[in-house]
Structure 1
Amino acid sequence: MEATQMHAFIDLLRREEALLLGGDTDALLTLTQEKISLYHTQQRLHEARMQLLERLGLDSPAAAIEAFCQDLPETRRRWDEILRLAADARERNTLNGKLIVERMQHNQGALNILLKAANRPQFYDADGNTRSGGSGRLLGSA
């Protein structure tokens, strides 16, 4: 169950990366809701596992799972897969976070240029070159 959820989460992170690289912000909004839902499912599975270990009187989750899986090679294999998938998800999520920061910086730069342009209208000289500010009269003034 948990491995299946992790695979779904990693697939979602791959889609998120593709949307970030493609600049498809509308699709990102929809994907965010799905990401939140999958995250909450993963969190519930984690909490259920922690409660089970607590009821069994096992303090250290990592050590408890190691001890539990000692004589269960298939269970150990599945647990190792979950750990591997979790590491992959963490790396992909970190990468996507960096892509989001880059996109935000790009957007902020573009916004700053637009705001600067709005506060300083561009004027053109006789040759069509831009120049900031005007040296002549305002339109409509004599």
Structure 2
Amino acid sequence: MNNTVFDPIAGIASERDAVRAFIDVLRREQRALQQADVSVLLPLAVEKASHAQQLAGLTEAREQWLGMSGSLKDQGDMERRLADHPTAAMAWQELLQLTETAHRINEINGILVNQRLRYNQQRLSALQAAARGLHNGLYGSNGQPQIFSGGRRLGEI
């Protein structure tokens, strides 16, 4: 859209639809994080990056259009610019709501990622402690098995 004249109706509608698609990816990511389905996280990350790149291009085209009038100061400038385009103004309001939704879902996903990371770090620490106990010797000097006696027990958090 950078080399053509920006059509606010089509441009903002495209941006709104792109945010909807991005939200869909975020929701799928959230389900995968909640279900600990890590197998789909990498493909989702690639898809999410692609959508983010598309959104950046659409946003840039809109900002260039807005900047041509010399008004790029605040949200009110956009609303004034769309006063003659009621369809675009409605799409703009939807876009604002959708971006807020995307922001909230992305924040929740970040929390879920941090929780999953903490959980995995705790599990790894427990396994490392168990492995240290095994390296101290499986059998005592009398030939009998030694019971693990240090750190956390396997399965404890």
For normalisation by structure 2, the TM-score amounts to 0.76
**Partners of 1:84 and 1:44 in 2: how far apart?**
20
Higher normalized strand content (fraction of residues): 1
Match of 1:139 in 2: none
Correspondent of 1:101 among 100, 114, 131: 114
**Partners of 2:72 and 2:20 in 1: how far apart?**
28
**Partners of 1:98 and 1:86 in 2: how far apart?**
18
CA apart distance, 1:123: 6.1
Aligned partner of residue 107 in structure 1, secondary structure: helix
Question: Unpaired segments of 5 or more residues in structure 1?
Answer: 134-142
Deviates more, 1:8-17 or 1:53-62: 53-62
**Partners of 1:35 and 1:56 in 2: how far apart?**
32
Correspondent of 2:126 among 113, 135, 140: 113
**Partners of 1:33 and 1:70 in 2: how far apart?**
37
Q: CA RMSD in A?
A: 2.2
**8 Å Cα contact 1:53/1:61 also seen in 2:** no
Aligned partner of residue 71 in structure 2, secondary structure: coil
Aligned partner of residue 106 in structure 2, secondary structure: helix
Alignment of 1:2-21 (within 5 A): 2-21=15-34
**8 Å Cα contact 2:133/2:148 also seen in 1:** no
Q: Deviations over 1:62-84 (max 9, x none)?
A: 12211112243222111000000
Question: Unpaired segments of 5 or more residues in structure 2?
Answer: 1-13, 140-144, 151-157
For normalisation by structure 1, the TM-score amounts to 0.83
What is the identity, as a one-letter code, of the residue corresponding to 1:87? E
Aligned partner of residue 66 in structure 2, secondary structure: helix
Match of 1:138 in 2: none
Match of 2:99 in 1: 86
Correspondent of 1:23 among 23, 33, 36: 36
**Aligned-residue identity in percent:** 35
Detail structure 1 runs of 4+ shifted over 4 Å in the superposition. Answer: none
**8 Å Cα contact 1:50/1:61 also seen in 2:** no
Aligned partner of residue 53 in structure 2, secondary structure: helix
**Partners of 1:11 and 1:129 in 2: how far apart?**
53
Aligned partner of residue 86 in structure 1, secondary structure: helix
Q: Deviations over 1:74-99 (max 9, x none)?
A: 22111000000000000000000000
